[in-house]
Amino acid sequence: MPQTAGTVANAAAALKLPGNGEENGVLPWVELGRAKVPGGGEFRLMQRGDEFTIFAGTIGLMSSRQSGSEEAMARVAAERIGTRPKARVLIGGLGMGFTVRAALAAFRPDAELVVAELVPEIAGAWARGPLAAIHGESLDDPRVTLRLGDVGGVMAGDAQKFDAILLDVDNGPEGLSRPGNDALYSHPGIAKAKAALRPGGMLAVWSVAPDAGFSKRLGQSGMRVEELKARAHGGKGARHVIWVGTK
């Protein structure tokens, strides 16, 4: 993947996988599984004590100890479009399920949540195995439809369109988990997301750090844009970014 300013900033802000740690009296990381990412790359599910983290190489994509900003993204969506009857929400991707669980709590009982996840192990063996306590009963909720595949394909192929699209498939608006995700954050990718929204619908994109280039591209889309900040762990921790574009 070519290095861009956004890539460097987001990688630097992300959780890094250190050495074993036993020599410093720190609990060691234990590898629980590996998963190939369609289109390139590999994820590793690691555990240290009661903490779970999914790594792409040495960079942590998601941690069980940092869920505040992912949950905030779902609440922001509910505040803006949650009163719509039978609201349709597309969430990409599943990760550890924090956004899905927060959306289930925040949206009306008649809402439909479509979750697009590219990596089968994340949605299957890991979600139903080591991470089952984190996901709870969210994947069995009748409001949730799980689609294995690229979120861009779901956006393009769903004729009913969505009231909200919530994207958290990388550490920010560049293809960290796989190079093919770069297209999601390009001018054509933003246009595809906008076309998949119903009138007044919203696109939200999560990032571990600011990205001036993406902010500019989103602002050029014709949507009304906000750049929000949310803490990684409740009211503490790093300040993550959530871009909101309203059609």
pLDDT category of residue 41 using cuts at 50, 70 and 90: confident
Whether 57 and 79 share a structural domain: no
Cα(240)–Cα(13) distance, integer angstroms: 10
CATH code of the domain in which 228 resides: 3.40.50.150
Question: Given this model, what pLDDT does residue 9 score?
Answer: 39
Spatial distance between the Cα atoms of 6 and 12, rounded to a whole number of angstroms: 10
The neighbour count for residue 8, using CB atoms within 10 Å, is 12
User: Are residue 122 and residue 84 in the same domain, yes or no?
Assistant: yes
Give pLDDT tens digits for 47-68: 999 999 999 888 888 999 989 9
pTM above 0.85, yes or no: yes
120 three-class SS: helix
Counting the structural domains of the chain, the total is 2
By three-state DSSP, how is residue 209 classified? Answer: coil
Q: What is the pLDDT of residues 4-34, one digit of tens each?
A: 333 333 433 444 555 555 555 689 999 999 9
pLDDT band at 179; cut points 50, 70, 90 = low
Percentage of the residues of the chain whose pLDDT score is greater than 90? 74
Residue range 132-158, pLDDT digits in tens: 999 999 999 999 999 999 999 999 999
Same domain for 49 and 93? Answer: no
Residues 153 and 217 in one domain: yes
For residue 91, the enclosing domain spans: 68-246
Q: List all residues 6 or more positions away from 79 whose beta carbon is below 8 Å from its beta carbon.
A: none
pLDDT digits (tens, 9 = 90+) for 194-238: 999 999 999 999 998 999 999 999 999 999 999 999 987 666 678
